[in-house]
């Protein structure tokens, strides 16, 4: 995982201060042990997190840190993005106390904090596998933005000051959607190649322009805008290893060229009414000329670009993504579909 990101989370948690007014009627009010507005996870250091366990109902996910990234363990050991892990860690680390509610275990079930049979359970583990802390997220309090929360090894229940950002326990929500990655403003050209031919969009002037338009025709700006909008979302449905779908053929592809020379290729396939994509990165325009990333142009690329290409391929080279049919519609488009 990106250690700098984790350090930033720890720093944010350390410097945020301030009191939060008590709201609503307190159940079984007792003396507050945490300051109003203080963080429920006291002394928590995100930089030390090497494992995360999340469970709600029958759904359980386990993440383990390998080198500088986190792996969703299980059938595939899939590498999730650092941003996804940071969102989980930040959501839990940012829980603040509004009031102390009850330490009576008989109330835990009604508040949704009885344990794994109750609410959302999140545990963090250190490098050697030791449990750092665990927290149970219960139900919301009606008419109040917060929710009931309990440290797993303590009886005391607190009410939080704010709602909890979504923490999913569904595998599909952790599948990478950064294909192509980064800001769309970083791209200068998009090429589409399929059985109907090929066309390209030039994005360098800030306004997309269809290349090589025939005489007496002009581009349909609305159609171009819709085409680009479709490319901005990667509608993932499921995940497979390449070896599991080795017989697929890939008749269509999209290539996205960035300002730094990196080219991201997304190839598309269809079988039995289902639609699939695979992705790879290449350096310095080599994809457009059909060369591998190790070609001469790749050798001339800057080291940061080569590092970006290597990291992307490391994360995506083993995977095939099942996607929504909308992307196949985009892949089948012809230049004429963007003209009027």
**Exposed/middle/buried for residue 312 (C-beta within 10 Å: 0-12, 13-18, 19+):** buried
Cβ atoms within 10 Å of 205's Cβ, excluding its own: 8
Provide the 8-state DSSP code for 39: B
Residue 120 or 29, more confident: 120
Mean pLDDT, rounded, for 215-235: 89
pTM of this prediction? 0.76
- Residue 149 contacts residue 141 (beta carbons within 8 Å): no
Question: For the chain, what is the mean pLDDT?
Answer: 84
Confidence of residue 10 (pLDDT cuts 50, 70, 90): very low
Per-residue model confidence as pLDDT tens digits over 115-171: 887 789 999 999 999 999 999 999 999 999 999 999 999 999 999 999 999 999 999
Specify the pLDDT at position 141. Answer: 94
**pLDDT surpassing 70 at residue 299:** no
Per-residue model confidence as pLDDT tens digits over 197-223: 899 999 988 789 999 999 999 999 999
- Determine what percent of the chain is predicted with pLDDT higher than 90: 62
Residues making up the chain, counted from first to last: 340
Mean pLDDT, rounded, for 180-185: 81
- Separation of alpha carbons 161 and 145, rounded Å: 7
Mention every residue, 6+ apart, whose C-beta is less than 8 A from residue 110: none
Element (H, E) at 333: none
Confidence of residue 184 (pLDDT cuts 50, 70, 90): confident
Mean pLDDT, rounded, for 281-310: 66
Mean pLDDT, rounded, for 223-243: 89
DSSP string of 199-212, one letter each residue? EEEE-TTSS-EESS
Mapping DSSP to helix (H, G, I), strand (E, B) and coil, where does residue 295 land? Answer: coil
Confidence of residue 82 (pLDDT cuts 50, 70, 90): confident
């Amino acid at each position: 995982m990106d250690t700098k990101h984790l350090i930033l989370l720890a720093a944010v948690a350390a410097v945020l201060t301030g009191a939060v007014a008590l709201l609503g009627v307190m159940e079984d009010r007792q003396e507050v042990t945490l300051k109003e507005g203080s963080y429920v996870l006291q002394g928590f250091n995100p930089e030390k997190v090497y494992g995360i366990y999340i469970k709600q109902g029958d759904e359980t996910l386990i993440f383990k840190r390998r080198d500088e990234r986190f792996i969703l363990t299980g059938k595939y050991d899939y590498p999730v993005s650092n941003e996804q892990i940071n969102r989980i860690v930040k959501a839990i680390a940012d829980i603040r106390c509004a009031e102390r509610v009850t330490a009576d275990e008989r109330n835990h079930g009604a508040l949704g904090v009885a344990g794994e049979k109750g609410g959302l359970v999140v545990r963090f583990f250190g490098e050697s596998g030791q449990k750092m802390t665990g927290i149970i997220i219960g139900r919301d309090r009606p008419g109040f933005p917060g929710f009931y929360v309990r440290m797993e090894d303590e009886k005391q229940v607190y009410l939080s000051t704010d709602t909890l950002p979504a923490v999913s326990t569904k595998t599909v929500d952790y599948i990478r959607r950064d294909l192509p990655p980064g800001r769309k403003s970083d791209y200068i050209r998009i090429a589409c190649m399929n059985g109907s031919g090929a066309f390209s969009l030039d994005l360098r002037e800030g306004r997309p322009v269809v290349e090589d338009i025939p005489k007496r025709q002009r581009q349909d700006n609305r159609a171009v805008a819709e085409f680009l909008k479709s490319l901005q979302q990667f509608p993932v449905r499921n995940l497979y290893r390449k070896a599991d779908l080795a017989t697929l053929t890939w008749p269509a592809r999209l290539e996205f060229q960035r300002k730094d020379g990196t080219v991201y290729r997304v190839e598309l396939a269809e079988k039995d009414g289902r639609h699939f994509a695979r992705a790879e990165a290449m350096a310095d325009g080599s994809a457009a000329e059909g060369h591998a990333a190790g070609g001469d142009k790749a050798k001339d690329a800057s080291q940061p670009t080569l590092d970006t290409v290597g990291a992307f391929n490391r994360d995506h080279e083993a995977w095939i993504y099942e996607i929504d049919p909308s992307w196949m519609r985009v892949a089948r488009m012809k230049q004429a579909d963007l003209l009027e």
